[in-house]
Amino acid sequence: MIVPIMFMFSQSLAALPALSQGTTIMVVADDLRTIYSQGTVDGDTLRFDAPLPAGAAVQLLFYPPAADDPAAELESAGQPGDGVQSLRASTDSDGTDLVVLGDDSGVSFRDWLADSRGITLVVPGD
C-alpha cells in the first residue's frame, strides 16, 4: 500500500500547473484552519510573506492567476488544471523549505521549483 501512496505524491508535483505570473500559493495547516504564509509568483520568484513554521505538516494551495478579461475566464473555465489545487508537504526543521513526499527522503520544494520551473523560492528568514 505504501508504494501507491508514494507514487501518488510524487506525481502530484508533476501535475501542478505551470505556476505562471500571478499564481498564488498559500501554506496552510494540514487541517486548513491556519494560514501560515502566502506568496505570489512574480517573474521568476515566489516570495512568501511570512516565515514558515518549523517541522509542521502543511498543505500548499495553488490558486491560478485571475484573468483580467472576464470573457477569457469563462472561456477557460473547466479546462484541466483550472481552479485550486493542493499538495501535502511538511516544513523542514528550520522553516526555510517545504518537503514533499517523493522518495525515501522527500523532495525539496525549493529545489523542485528551481529545477523544473525556473522559480526561486524566498522565505522570510532565509
What does each of the 126 residues of the chain score in pLDDT, given as a tens digit?
444 443 344 446 777 778 899 999 999 999 999 999 999 999 999 999 999 999 999 999 999 988 764 544 544 444 445 678 888 999 999 999 999 876 566 889 999 999 999 999 999 977
In a domain, 47, yes or no: yes
In a domain, 76, yes or no: no
Cα–Cα nearest to 62, from 97, 12, 99, 102: 12
In a domain, 74, yes or no: no
Question: What pLDDT, on a 0 to 100 scale, did the predictor assign at position 123?
Answer: 94
Question: What pLDDT, on a 0 to 100 scale, did the predictor assign at position 39?
Answer: 96
In a domain, 34, yes or no: yes
User: CA-CA distance, 21 to 17, in Å (whole number)?
Assistant: 11
Residue-number span of the structural domain to which 40 is assigned: 2-67+81-122
Number of folded domains in the chain? Answer: 1
In a domain, 42, yes or no: yes
DSSP-assigned states of every residue in 10-53: HHHHHTS----TT-EEEEEETTS--EEEEEEEETTEEEESSPPP
In a domain, 20, yes or no: yes
Collapsing DSSP to helix, strand or coil, 55 comes out as coil
In a domain, 100, yes or no: yes
Pair 16, 116: CB distance under 8 Å: no
110 backbone φψ class: left, alpha, beta (φ>0; ψ -120 to 50): alpha
Question: What pLDDT, on a 0 to 100 scale, did the predictor assign at position 82?
Answer: 61
